[in-house]
């Protein structure tokens, strides 16, 4: 099936961005990513599954229509940033204007760094408790193997 650009109606063409396949508009350079492709796009910058699927929706009406089903897309700010993406409510995909994919990638890298800092703080905060948990776990395993 041939998809057309929701901005200018040009035929989208198969393309890749950092090895992530998507449909690219030759005119406005925007891109249509299905859900899986969008996750891959985020994953090219992230090394943690924990941050996937946490896009913050502050929806408003979009002037664009879904290339797949023709219904109006919903516009939202990507993760609370001043970066507008458009998504199909029927989960057909995401429309990213030219340059938006790179900004998503940059934002994801920053988010990963934030999470790493937070994780380091949490690790030291909970270090004693974590050691206690490990001991308990080892004791439980010992009991299993000794048949108690």
Residue 55 parent element (H or E): none
Question: Cβ of residue 136: shortest distance to Zn ion, in angstroms?
Answer: 49
Burial of 6 (0-12, 13-18, 19+ CB in 10 A): buried
Question: Cβ of residue 48: shortest distance to Zn ion, in angstroms?
Answer: 29
Question: Cβ of residue 57: shortest distance to Zn ion, in angstroms?
Answer: 16
Q: Nearer to Zn ion by C-beta: 10 or 55?
A: 10
Half-sphere exposure of 139 (CA within 13 A, CB side): 6
Q: Nearer to Zn ion by C-beta: 64 or 88?
A: 88
What residue ranges in the chain does DSSP mark as E strands?
13-17, 20-24, 31-33, 60-65, 72-77, 84-87, 94-96
Handedness of CA 71, 74, 78, 81 (dihedral sign): positive
Question: Cβ of residue 7: shortest distance to Zn ion, in angstroms?
Answer: 4
Q: Nearer to Zn ion by C-beta: 45 or 93?
A: 93
Give the binding site for Zn ion (CB under 5 A). Answer: 5, 7-8, 10, 25, 27-28, 66, 68-69, 88, 90, 92
Cα 37 to Cα 18: distance, rounded to the nearest angstrom: 11
Q: Nearer to Zn ion by C-beta: 27 or 44?
A: 27
């Amino acid at each position: 099936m041939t998809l057309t650009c929701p901005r200018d109606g040009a035929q989208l063409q198969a393309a890749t961005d950092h090895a992530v396949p998507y449909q690219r508009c030759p005119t406005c350079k925007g891109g249509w990513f299905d859900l899986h492709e969008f996750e891959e796009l985020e994953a090219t910058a992230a090394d943690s599954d924990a941050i996937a699927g946490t896009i913050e929706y502050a929806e408003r009406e979009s002037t664009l229509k879904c290339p797949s089903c023709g219904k109006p897309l919903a516009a939202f700010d990507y993760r609370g940033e001043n970066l507008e993406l458009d998504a199909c409510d029927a989960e057909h995909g995401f429309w990213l204007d030219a340059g938006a994919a790179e900004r998503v990638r940059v934002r994801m890298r920053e988010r990963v760094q934030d999470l790493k800092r937070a994780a380091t703080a949490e690790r030291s905060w909970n270090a004693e408790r974590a050691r206690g948990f490990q001991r308990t776990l080892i004791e439980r395993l010992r009991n299993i193997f000794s048949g108690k």
